[in-house]
Structure 1
Amino acid sequence: MIADCSAVIMFSLYMINCNSANFVHPRLLESRNGNGDLVLNIRKDLTLYLEKSAVLADNFYLDSSTTAGTHRTVLKGREIEANLYHDKKHQSSLILTRSINGIEVRGILNHEFTITPALVSERSSNGTVPHNISAIEQMSRMNDDEEQRRQSGTSLENHAENQCNSKEKKRHFPCEFTVELWLLASSEYRAAFDTCDDFLTYLATAVNAVGLRFINMTNPMIRFQLNGVTIDYDDILTKVEVCSMHYVGKWRLSKKCICGIDAEDTLNKTRFFVNASNIDADLVYLLTSKNLVRNIKKNSITILQDVLGMAYIGGVCTSLKAGVGEDKPKTYSGVSTMAHEISHLLGSLHDGEGPLQHMRGHPGGARCPRSGGYLMGNWDNTRNEYRLSECTKEQMQYNFRCLALDCIELRKQANVTNDYYPGQILDPFKYCQALHPKTTDVSPEDIDDSYNKCIVHCCSSDYYEDDDYTACDAHRMLEAMSCGENKTCRGGVCGAHNWTDIYKTRRTF
């Protein structure tokens, strides 16, 4: 962890009540320290110490899937997550960017609030961009129907037994497990985002937040790397809708017609899709904004039960490595659900359940009551929801010792092995040429105050109505680009940044 800070984002802490919205105004200030972290000061009693996050594979895959086939695009993961940061203590996951209007902050501030630039055209009187702070919708997890849970888990538990008993137990295990993740998204989920960049940076921020739920996990430490995303444009995975007059909501049976996407059917289709696809990952998780339900048959009556997600227990690195879950796009409401279902895939039952009798030595979660409110228990708006219980950690450790080494070893190279930041490859002159390839005499303007703001002006000569003049375009400097003597840009801040230390500490965990 970096101890010092190179930049401070100060929030003017006056709160304006306008149509029930809370606004703050971020300002990016230079600090005296030079080690590269950012500090996000919200108010006197809340300061976020932001570290650079790395959750995307270097060669990041974006697949577009239809019934006619799949088209794959290879993207640079580093570019997508260039402005992604996290705070471990408060589990913040934020995208920080700089526009011509000022600093823009997007993402999760803490367990309760998100932050986004406000939809207003003008800046404040001090030149900052107003931001909106919104409450994260808290989705409560209902208790599972025990009979249905046992029925749906039978084949999966048998599979887990075969997986565990077929591996050598007495061998050396690494102290860290980088779980390679692949996300699937339904077409309506993708359509909620204006641009592909918005879509991908949101997913990176969400995965970053999921990883923070596992920060207290040891032996092994668990971190996540997102290898790719597939968009299901024909919605072949979420097509089966079921309707019934009987619906279980908050443990009460109500007679009203309700419809939803069959979660178990979606999970099975996701599993078959993954096994038939060119997807290289330890886990695959489908995101949908549609309402998921469990289709329960009792006495020839169809009863629908709300579920937030579903996954196979211990499915990591097997043919059952699939999970599905709800998330309302742009809200991060499904982050805890994703973390919960991934915990199932990594081998954990719910708190209060188990152990699995047919698996010798399985610790189960019986000694940790669900009322504890941890990630695998009942969610009751407690801070424990964002942590793993001791039982969950023990079950993941048990399952980890059953995994083959080709699962544990990192197959797709992560960003942390890259040697350079963009600004160390392109100087301002080459940068201007790359941005204006059709302009023959383009060059950066001489160093002035704009460099201290990490802005470079690319200028060229022009001619209009018998007059010669110079035309310039302003551009944000790249990370690590020189902005003065012994100074470089980091997160829009010109300072004496220590890039050697930054390389060593840029992992999420």
Structure 2
Amino acid sequence: MITLTLLLCLPLYSSGRNEYLVYPAIVEERSTARNLVLRINEDITLNLEKSDVLAEHLLFVTATRDRHEVETVDTSSIQDKLYHDVNQQSSLMVNQTDGNLHVEGVVNSKLRIRPIPEGERSAQGHVLHSLYEVEEIRDDLVNMTEYSRYYPERNARRNQVPTRKTQVIYPGRHHIHQANTTTTTTTTTTRRPLLEFVVEVHIISDEEHNQHFRSRLELTIYLGIMTNAIQLRYVEMTAPTIKFKLVGVTMSKEDTFVSVLLGTLEAYETINKLEEYYKQGNIPGNPDVVYLMTGRDISSTKRGTLEKSVAGLANVAGVCTVRRVALGEDVAQSYDGVYAMAHEIAHLLGARHDPMVSDDCAWKSGFLMSYEEGGTNKYRLSNCSQASIRANVARLPYTCILQMARVSISYVQSSSVMPGQKVSSARYCELIYRRYLRKNRIRATAYAAMPSDLAGVCKMKCCYDRYHVTWCQTVHILEGMTCVGTNTCRRGVCGNHTWAEK
């Protein structure tokens, strides 16, 4: 069985900004070997700590139609220059060469910085930099109406038969679930209960997705943050606990594994081709799951017509089998695909959609494996999903549970940075609407609005103005993004959360 997920995916980018000229400098007397105090200007001083988001040697695949180039990249010289300030949500490349300081990256949710090497030096010889704003949040909106891409779910998928029995999940069968097909499983062997399952993930970024990243490093950091974000959806899972590790990245330059139809990625044909791509040995190592992150709109022709109401597809219980593949949409640099990735990987681990019964697993409760709005439930697995994953993992061979991917490199460590710490609400809305506005030739700038009643439950509105009318859609605030005052969102709760490094 394959599960189709539905998401909001309407992406835009705004170039409007205010710009300031600054001369950043390191406050030497307050800096140490691993920490820097960086003075941007009179108003902004950052307490920077060294980041640890990359392995010393990283396995990276650059794939074309005729060639797969697997590289072991020494990232130590780059990692030495990466810093962050957790409190200010800063992520900066700080390069000191021959007494010259070059700073580039995110200062905070509203400000970015980059060097202007050809600019005039300060009296102290400091390099000129541009400090520029991203569009600020507007909260004075009127006449707010909704624009939504939520679609009604198909009845064939929603009318699942309630059962308390463990269902047989045949890995890789991705037909639409049919009612009244429940069977029970028999257990032939037993073993010691598993306490932890580390799911090794290899992510393929297709050409439509990775073209928005300037370098391999930028893409790898992004995918590490995505992996860390989906981890939060599984924290209640016990016996075993589920953890994720990013063990490989493929940057595809020619997508031989996709089926494109009228500019969209046809889901069922693509997942079949993705299985063949894996079986042909194109994914190095031995990851437990392979996830295709696409920048295309996903479609389906399963019912004889082209349907674009699909955002992901997965082989249920495909983990550690030849059908260990899934795919999902993501708007590059927006972290919009976190929900799809968490949902589809849960299918790979053995979870099905929540049933239509009135209990603590009900579809209407809106847990991760439902499309209903469930508040904070949307950030966690239901008891039924946990039980399904637990039952499937118990049947996995030891080679899957215990064996690390067979590559002689260090792995990327999961970043503790959350998506909302890297993307401001304004930038997120710009990305959400970008594709829609361009496709419909609408000349407008998207922006974010956070009415207190929505922000308090970790939601906001992404809007744009046209013909004196404001069009908005309600979206979930990203993990780590500011909600009310200085509070941030964590799994649907707006509060005073601590985002400590691991």
Hey, what's the Cα distance between the residues in 1 that align with 2:320 and 2:156? 27
Q: SS at the partner of 1:158?
A: coil
1:281 equivalenced with 2:290 (yes/no):
no
Query: What is the identity, as a one-letter code, of the residue corresponding to 1:304?
Result: E
Hey, what's the Cα distance between the residues in 1 that align with 2:356 and 2:48? 37
Shift of 1:135: 9.7
In structure 2, what is the equivalent of residue 293 of structure 1? 299
Structure 1 residues 288-437: aligned runs within 5 Å: 288-297=294-303, 301-352=304-355, 367-378=360-371, 380=373, 382-412=375-405, 415=410
Paired residue for 2:154, among 145, 149, 160?
Answer: 145
Contact 2:279 2:322 in 1 (8 A): yes
Shift of 1:67: 2.6
In structure 2, what is the equivalent of residue 180 of structure 1? 200
Contact 2:197 2:242 in 1 (8 A): yes
Query: What is the identity, as a one-letter code, of the residue corresponding to 1:117?
Result: R
C-alpha deviations, 1:222-254, integer Å up to 9, x for none? Answer: 222212122332222223315xxxxxxxxxxxx
Q: SS at the partner of 1:388?
A: coil
Shift of 1:402: 1.7
In structure 2, what is the equivalent of residue 196 of structure 1? 216
The structure in which a higher percent of residues are strand is 1
Shift of 1:158: 2.7
Hey, what's the Cα distance between the residues in 2 that align with 1:335 and 1:218? 22
Shift of 1:291: 0.6
Hey, what's the Cα distance between the residues in 2 that align with 1:78 and 1:140? 43
Shift of 1:115: 6.8
Q: SS at the partner of 2:170?
A: helix
Contact 2:354 2:362 in 1 (8 A): yes
For residues 269 and 143 of structure 1, do their structure 2 counterparts lie closer, same or farther at Cα, with a shift above 3 Å needed?
Answer: farther
C-alpha deviations, 1:268-321, integer Å up to 9, x for none? Answer: 111111121252200001111111012242xxx524142111111111111111
Q: SS at the partner of 1:157?
A: coil
State the number of aligned residues: 356
Contact 2:63 2:250 in 1 (8 A): yes
In structure 2, what is the equivalent of residue 72 of structure 1? 70
Shift of 1:183: 1.0
Hey, what's the Cα distance between the residues in 2 that align with 1:75 and 1:167? 45
In structure 2, what is the equivalent of residue 117 of structure 1? 112
C-alpha deviations, 1:2-32, integer Å up to 9, x for none? Answer: xxxxxxxxxxxxxxxx948899x99998999
Query: What is the identity, as a one-letter code, of the residue corresponding to 1:222?
Result: I
Q: SS at the partner of 1:231?
A: strand
Hey, what's the Cα distance between the residues in 1 that align with 2:323 and 2:331? 25
Contact 1:325 1:334 in 2 (8 A): yes
Hey, what's the Cα distance between the residues in 1 that align with 2:190 and 2:280? 31
Hey, what's the Cα distance between the residues in 2 that align with 1:32 and 1:132? 28
Hey, what's the Cα distance between the residues in 2 that align with 1:238 and 1:135? 38
Q: SS at the partner of 2:381?
A: coil
Paired residue for 2:268, among 264, 285, 288?
Answer: 264
Q: SS at the partner of 2:171?
A: helix
C-alpha deviations, 1:42-81, integer Å up to 9, x for none? Answer: xxxxxx9999665x66653222222323221112477777
Structure 1 residues 435-454: aligned runs within 5 Å: none
Paired residue for 1:98, among 94, 97, 108?
Answer: 94
Contact 2:233 2:380 in 1 (8 A): yes
Query: What is the identity, as a one-letter code, of the residue corresponding to 2:314?
Result: A
Contact 1:179 1:222 in 2 (8 A): yes
1:159 equivalenced with 2:171 (yes/no):
yes
For residues 71 and 149 of structure 1, do their structure 2 counterparts lie closer, same or farther at Cα, with a shift above 3 Å needed?
Answer: farther
Hey, what's the Cα distance between the residues in 1 that align with 2:49 and 2:228? 13
Shift of 1:508: 7.3
In structure 2, what is the equivalent of residue 241 of structure 1? 261
Query: What is the identity, as a one-letter code, of the residue corresponding to 1:288?
Result: T
Contact 1:310 1:324 in 2 (8 A): yes
Hey, what's the Cα distance between the residues in 2 that align with 1:116 and 1:307? 35
Q: SS at the partner of 2:226?
A: helix
Shift of 1:181: 0.7
Contact 1:314 1:347 in 2 (8 A): yes
In structure 2, what is the equivalent of residue 8 of structure 1? none
- CA RMSD after TM alignment: 5.1
With structure 2 as the length reference, what TM-score do the two structures score? 0.56
Contact 1:58 1:76 in 2 (8 A): yes
**Unmatched runs of 5 consecutive residues or more in structure 1:** 1-17, 40-47, 243-258, 355-364, 419-506
Shift of 1:376: 2.2
In structure 2, what is the equivalent of residue 222 of structure 1? 242
Hey, what's the Cα distance between the residues in 2 that align with 1:262 and 1:37? 48
Hey, what's the Cα distance between the residues in 2 that align with 1:381 and 1:31? 51
1:171 equivalenced with 2:192 (yes/no):
yes
Query: What is the identity, as a one-letter code, of the residue corresponding to 1:344?
Result: H
Contact 1:105 1:115 in 2 (8 A): no
Contact 2:170 2:317 in 1 (8 A): no
For residues 403 and 182 of structure 1, do their structure 2 counterparts lie closer, same or farther at Cα, with a shift above 3 Å needed?
Answer: same
Hey, what's the Cα distance between the residues in 2 that align with 1:57 and 1:29? 29
For residues 133 and 282 of structure 1, do their structure 2 counterparts lie closer, same or farther at Cα, with a shift above 3 Å needed?
Answer: farther
**Unmatched runs of 5 consecutive residues or more in structure 2:** 1-14, 38-46, 138-146, 161-167, 173-181, 414-499
Shift of 1:166: 7.5
Hey, what's the Cα distance between the residues in 2 that align with 1:398 and 1:187? 37
Hey, what's the Cα distance between the residues in 1 that align with 2:75 and 2:30? 31
For residues 381 and 134 of structure 1, do their structure 2 counterparts lie closer, same or farther at Cα, with a shift above 3 Å needed?
Answer: farther
